[in-house]
Amino acid sequence: MFLLGDWRRTNYSNEVKPEMDGEEVILMGWVHSIRALGKLAFIILRDREGTIQIVVPKQKVSEETFATAKKIGKEDVIAVKGKVVANEKAPNGFEVIPTEIRILNKAETPLPLDPSEKVPADIDTRLDKRFLDLRRPKIQALFRIRSEMLKSVRNTFYEEGFIEVNTPKLVASATEGGTELFPISYFEKEAFLGQSPQLYKQMMMASGFDKVFEIGPIFRAEEHNTRRHLNEAISIDTEMSFSDDRDAMDVLEKVVYNTFVDIYENREKEIELLGIDFKLPEKKFDRITYDEAVDIANSKGVEIEWGEDLSRAAEKAIGDEMGDLYFITDWPSKTRPFYTLHDEKNPEICKAFDLMYKELELSSGAQRVHKYDLLVENIKSMGMNPEGFGTYLEAFKYGMPPHAGWGLGADRFMMILTCQENIRECVLFPRDRQRLTP
Ligand code: ATP
Ligand code: MG
């Protein structure tokens, strides 16, 4: 019998309790391990929620059931109908004794990767055989946390009155300059994969949506392999009207803080499985200016000239000094894209911010330019041609409110939530310079 027939799972492994003594259950999952000792077999069945022991004593089960148990191999997919028997000596105070076992599908041997985590594997092998790697309870825990993170982020946005949108990822021109773009052939034309929803979410402000957010892919032709860059990443993006940079930072703080709380409260088991030191942050994050950040770097012997973007060495020095989560504000205008609003009194600095976790950038945001003339001027002063921004620029001519927003890298956010050093760990099927499959 390799089909379900009329069998349906009655319980996940974690739902079976000694109090269910005498009840019939149907369990389904993978064979995590099997031990057959003459007249007795032990099957550890694994499902999404954990593992459960099935005991198969030759005297107590039908001949057919015992014969099936003997045929079972590691990672076979099985369904077990059986009785819960309370037993103080059993691992969780009960055992399940089968009345029938169905092998729904056999797994070939040898396995290219051992999901029971007994045999360690390097990250490349793991990513090559990702579907097997993902069966490992610890890896599943990561992605349960990722799902919780996305849910929490959405909840906060909805609570705060934001509207979820989807903008195109096939785009005609570069958002902020061309170096990080992936060109693609689009019928007779050249097009690009979207590197950011920036221009579209600003156009939503001209459309009167007031507060929008989008969770979607961004594509960047990052040349170098680092532990914090991918070529396809998920960005949590937002834009809000009648708001300034401070309002945008407040929303970012809420989104990040609430996610920590939700994971802390709802993913205790996963945190424990991962063995991570999960600490709730302060509700308000520290805020330092770019000038203060430069002073910190310089005081630690890392030379930074005013106006430069922060180097990796500078980020490390600043990260060592600061708490876990902190903002850097008041950036030099020339380090930021053309749509960033400059300070009224000192146009050398702008209303941009980054959210950092130690040395890692999590998010960049700013108050934007909402005046057409100023925007055109900024585009030109950065050496670009306003004609390339046709429909985007038009949105600023007929009633564009003041607005601000940010983009938060979902995969980087995962790195800090789950204490991972390599961003690839936080993505099901990561894309980097060397990896386009699976
Ligand atoms: P970095 O300087 O670290 O390369 P960035 O300043 O180029 O990042 P932004 O354009 O500010 O990135 O994008 C907003 C956020 O999106 C970043 O703070 C980061 O969390 C995330 N992000 C950007 N590029 C990548 C990438 N290649 N891989 C993963 N996440 C990314
Ligand atoms: Mg940035």
Summarize pLDDT for 179-213 with one digit per residue, the tens.
789 999 999 999 999 999 999 999 999 999 999 99
**Residue 409 CA, closest ligand 1 atom number:** 20
How far does residue 223's CA lie from ligand 1's centre (Å)? Answer: 13
* 50 dihedral zone (left: phi>0; alpha: psi -120 to 50; beta): left
Catalytic residue among 102, 135, 146, 220: 220
pLDDT of the residue at 178: 62
Which of 215, 364, 411 most suits a substitution to test ligand 1, by most atoms within 8 Å of the C-beta? 364
How many whole angstroms separate alpha carbon 357 and alpha carbon 336? 20
pLDDT of the residue at 176: 61
How many whole angstroms separate alpha carbon 32 and alpha carbon 93? 20
Q: Which ligand is nearest to the CA of 360?
A: 1
How many whole angstroms separate alpha carbon 47 and alpha carbon 30? 6
pLDDT of the residue at 388: 86
Does residue 152 have an active-site annotation? no
How far does residue 363's CA lie from ligand 2's centre (Å)? Answer: 6
Contact of 371 with 341, CB cutoff 8 Å: no
- Which backbone phi and psi does 259 adopt, to 5 degrees? -65, -45
pLDDT of the residue at 175: 57
All structural domains of the chain: 3-105 (2.40.50.140), 133-426 (3.30.930.10)
How many whole angstroms separate alpha carbon 385 and alpha carbon 379? 7
How many whole angstroms separate alpha carbon 89 and alpha carbon 132? 33
Going by alpha carbons, the residue nearest to atom 6 of ligand 1 is 364
Going by alpha carbons, the residue nearest to atom 26 of ligand 1 is 229
pTM for this model (two decimals) = 0.96
Burial of 117 (0-12, 13-18, 19+ CB in 10 A): middle
- Helix (DSSP H) and strand (DSSP E) numbers for the chain: 12, 16
Which of 179, 226, 229, 335 most suits a substitution to test ligand 1, by most atoms within 8 Å of the C-beta? 229
pLDDT of the residue at 120: 86
How many whole angstroms separate alpha carbon 43 and alpha carbon 31? 7
Going by alpha carbons, the residue nearest to atom 22 of ligand 1 is 409
How many whole angstroms separate alpha carbon 323 and alpha carbon 359? 10
pLDDT of the residue at 177: 62
**Residue 407 CA, closest ligand 1 atom number:** 14
- Which residues have CB atoms below 5 A from the ion given as ligand 2? 364
Q: Which ligand is nearest to the CA of 407?
A: 1
Catalytic residue among 144, 412, 424, 425: 412
Q: Which ligand is nearest to the CA of 405?
A: 1
Does residue 412 have an active-site annotation? yes
Residues of the chain under the 50 pLDDT cut: none
Which distant-in-sequence residues (6+ apart) come within 8 Å of 388 by Cβ?
A: 173, 174
Catalytic residue among 146, 364, 370, 403: 364
Does residue 100 have an active-site annotation? no
pLDDT of the residue at 117: 77
Which residues contact ligand 1 via a Cβ below 6 A?
220, 222, 229-230, 233, 235, 361-364, 407, 409, 411-412
Share the mean pLDDT of the chain: 96
Going by alpha carbons, the residue nearest to atom 12 of ligand 1 is 364
pLDDT of the residue at 400: 98
Going by alpha carbons, the residue nearest to atom 1 of ligand 1 is 361
Residue with tokens 């800090």: 416
Catalytic residue among 49, 160, 222, 377: 222
Does residue 224 have an active-site annotation? no
The total number of residues shown for the chain amounts to 438
Of all residues in the chain, the percent with pLDDT exceeding 90 is 92
Which residues share a beta bridge with 287? 327
Q: Which ligand is nearest to the CA of 196?
A: 1
pLDDT of the residue at 273: 96
Give the SS3 label for residue 140: helix
Does residue 361 have an active-site annotation? yes
pLDDT of the residue at 171: 93
Strand ranges (E), 358-427: 360-367, 403-409
* pLDDT tens digits along 134-188: 999 999 999 999 999 999 999 999 999 999 999 999 998 765 666 789 999 999 9
